[in-house]
Structures are given as C-alpha cells and as structure tokens.
Amino acid sequence: MAIPVIDFSKLSSEERAKTLAQIANGCEEWGFFQLVNHGIPEELLERVKRVCNEFYKLEREENFNKSASVELLNEGDDEKLENVDWEDVITLLDDNEWPSNTPDFKETMADYLAEVKKLAEKVMEVMDEKLGLPKGYIKSAFNSGDNNNNNKAHFGTKVSHYPPCPQPEQVNGLRAHTDAGGVILLFQDDTIGGLQILKGGEWVDVQPLPNAIVINTGDQIEVLSNGKYKSVWHRVLAMPDGNRRSIASFYNPSLAATIAPAPQLVEQARGYPKFVFGDYMSVYAEQKFRPKEPRFEAVKAM
C-alpha cells in the first residue's frame, strides 16, 4: 500500500477532471497524498534543504544532544518513553523572530513559505470544487474572525529534524496524533523515512519522494466537510541511521474564526460542533496525542 502520488500540473491540462478526482480520492480515502509537479521551483527546494541542514548543525544539534529526550534515553531504563518525542523543532510564524545565525536561512524560508502558501490555497480551491462549495469557501472560512482584525488565517511552518536514534524502539520520533488545523503541506526528507499513517488499522509508510509535497488534512477540514474528508492519525518513527529533515507548513483558521460544517454539506447531521478555532486549540494543547472525538465534545460544551 502506498500513499497516492498525484501530478498537480495536470490540473491545467485535458486531464483536469481525472486529477481533481485523484485529489478528492486522496482526501476521502487516505487523508494524505503526495503532489509532484506542484509548481514550487526545484532550485528553491534545493536551497531549502541546504539551509535547513546547515541550520540544524549550526544552531540546533548541540541543544538536541542536551535535550530531555536524549537524557531520558541515556538513563538506560528499558521502558518505552511515552511522553517525549525524538524530534528537534522550531516554528516559523509571521510574528515571531526567526533564527538568524545561519546564512540565507531567513530569506530562503521566506521565499519557500510564500510558495507553499500559494500551493495551499490552490489545493483548498480543489477541495472547494470537489466538495461542491463555492470557490474560495475554505480560504474565506479560515480568513474570518471578529471585528478586531483577527481575521487572517494562521499560517505557520515547523522545521523539524529527527536525529539518528541509538534505541529507536524505545521512543517515537513524533507520537501519533491527528493535526488540529486545516491543510498541512509537508516537505519531507529525500531518503530517510519514518512518517506513517494509520489506514484500516495498519501503519502505512509515507514513502520519501524527492521534492514532492505531502498534503494532509487536519481536524478543521473534517468538521468543515462534515466528515467527508477525515483527519488521519499519523506518527514518525525514530530511525537508527540518518537525520530526517521535515518542514511542515500549516494553513489553519485564524484563532477568532468560527468553524462549523458547511451548510451545503449538512443534509445529514453527523454531530460535528460549531466553535471558535482558538478554543479548539486550547483543548488541543492539552490533548494532542489523544483521539479527536473528545476534543469535538469539549468545544461543543464551551
């Protein structure tokens, strides 16, 4: 079993309908798919890989080697570590300070984020179309909020490294979860695997494919689509060899946005709640590694 690989450039060819159908199938049956020929220049992707590798070496490796995960593993207890991840991570947001000691890191990542955000919006338009929603529906649902200018989608990027692990069976790279937000675009390592999704009760690898972008949908797309596109459990295994790089960009609603099933899709009520996304994130912060259904119940009660 392999995650679907879809040629995004075919959207503007005579194979448009077939490509739309492949994406809809990826959303309905898998919750994850990979895009090739997605339009982000290869030259930029090569630069992203280079600056992220350098960034880890220059600004992160030393810290990781002193982290709680490394210390706990070194303590040598044979119990599996259930409360930590074997992951080094920083998050790039519009309004936080970005690392500045690695040459070209900031500029390159700014260029990449601009491209990947455009790709996210194109993918959301495909979802609009295949869900039977007006063009721009998901984008405007995510870019909405109160009257205090809190109405911009929350777009961020997580730069992660999963260093080689001497006892990979003792710890997860990243514990299993579904993503809280909207649409996630992942630029994963060319060769080192470890990302898996849960499908039909089995863990399936998200096979590394150089310069592809992996797309997956979070809990908010599940709610908005009234369950047609489900957020899917995934995890990252710790690996004995190689330092896996992954760059995950998330296009999420603004914290003030109200999220609910689209009225066009509720011919059958499925019990999804209506809530403010910021409230959902407060619940998620406490319950990320648990099933989503109690999160839906918790925001319903708020």
Ligand X SMILES: O=C(O)CCC(=O)C(=O)O
Member of 159, 204, 236, 259 binding ligand X (CB under 6 A): 236
Q: 203-227: string of b/e by CB count within 10 Å (b at 16+)?
A: ebebebbebbbbbbbbbbbbbbbbe
Q: Using H for helix, E for strand and C for coil, what is the string for 22-69?
A: HHHHHHHHHCEEEEECCCCCHHHHHHHHHHHHHHHHHHHHHHHHCCHH
Q: Is 158 in the site for ligand X (CB under 6 A)?
A: yes
Which of ligand X, Fe ion, none interacts with 34 (beta carbon under 5 to 8 A by kind)? none
CB of 180 to Fe ion, least distance (A): 9
Q: Residue 5: which residues within 8 A CB-CB, separation 6 or more?
A: 33, 34, 36, 209, 212
**Residues 239-278 contacting ligand X, CB under 6 A:** 246, 248
Which of Fe ion, ligand X, none interacts with 236 (beta carbon under 5 to 8 A by kind)? ligand X
Q: Is 222 in the site for Fe ion (CB under 5 A)?
A: no
State which residue, 116 or 248, has the beta carbon closest to ligand X. 248
Member of 161, 234, 292, 295 binding ligand X (CB under 6 A): 234
One character per residue 34-73, x = contact with ligand X (rule: CB under 6 A) = ----------------------------------------
Tell me the longest C-alpha to C-alpha distance in the chain.
Answer: 60
Integer Cα distance of 118 and 204 in angstroms: 29
Q: Using CB under 6 A as the criterion, which residues of the chain lie in contact with ligand X when the complex forms?
A: 158, 160, 174, 179, 186, 188, 195, 234, 236, 246, 248
